[in-house]
Amino acid sequence: MPSVSTTFTVKPALLIVDSVQTVSSSLSDGLAGHPSQVREVAATLIRIAKERALPVVLVGHMTKDGSIAGPRLLEHLVDVVCHFEGDRIRLLVDVYDALRSDRPYKEAFPHETACRIIREGNGTHFDPSVVDAFFAVEQEFEQICDHMTNEGAEGIL
């Protein structure tokens, strides 16, 4: 699990933290992804950015309804919030993978729950034609996921 350190052995021109919800700080209780951890990590990174005039990009996650995952406070700590949708197919696959994978802050959801969440997002979060295509092959997704989980792979798809 990555953690925030205020000591840099290199002097980067840019710091990109992909998945800020996976970084933890010893200055806060709780697991990575917990609101207090995300808040502390973001505050530490922002302080480092100001002290060193270092541009910092915090990559977060969106919930299925399109809002920022984690504490709403995070969007008020940063200068700009950008929402990148990616392509329509990759979006659904990424959500399925995230739902079916263990995270520091949640256990993996079963296939049926992931399918229900995708169905609920049909037409709002997901393109209906992509959802239709997913449900035409959903059993293959489940089989691949189960196989990868049994093999101990990180990230499913």
Query: Which pLDDT score is estimated for 156?
Result: 45
The pLDDT value recorded for residue 29 is 79
| pLDDT tens sequence across 124-146 | 888 898 899 999 999 888 888 88
Higher-confidence residue: 92 or 13?
92
Q: Give how far Cα 16 sits from Cα of 45, 59, 111, 112, 156, Å.
A: 10, 7, 32, 35, 24
Among 128, 126, 157, 127, CA closest to 143: 157
Residue 102: predicted pLDDT = 85
Question: Global pTM?
Answer: 0.45
**What's the rounded Cα separation, in Å, for the pair 3 and 5?**
6
98 vs 80: which has the higher pLDDT: 98
> Rounded mean pLDDT of the chain?
77
107 has pLDDT over 80: yes
**Where does the pLDDT of residue 88 fall: very low under 50, low under 70, confident under 90, or very high at 90 and above?**
confident
pLDDT in the model for residue 72: 63
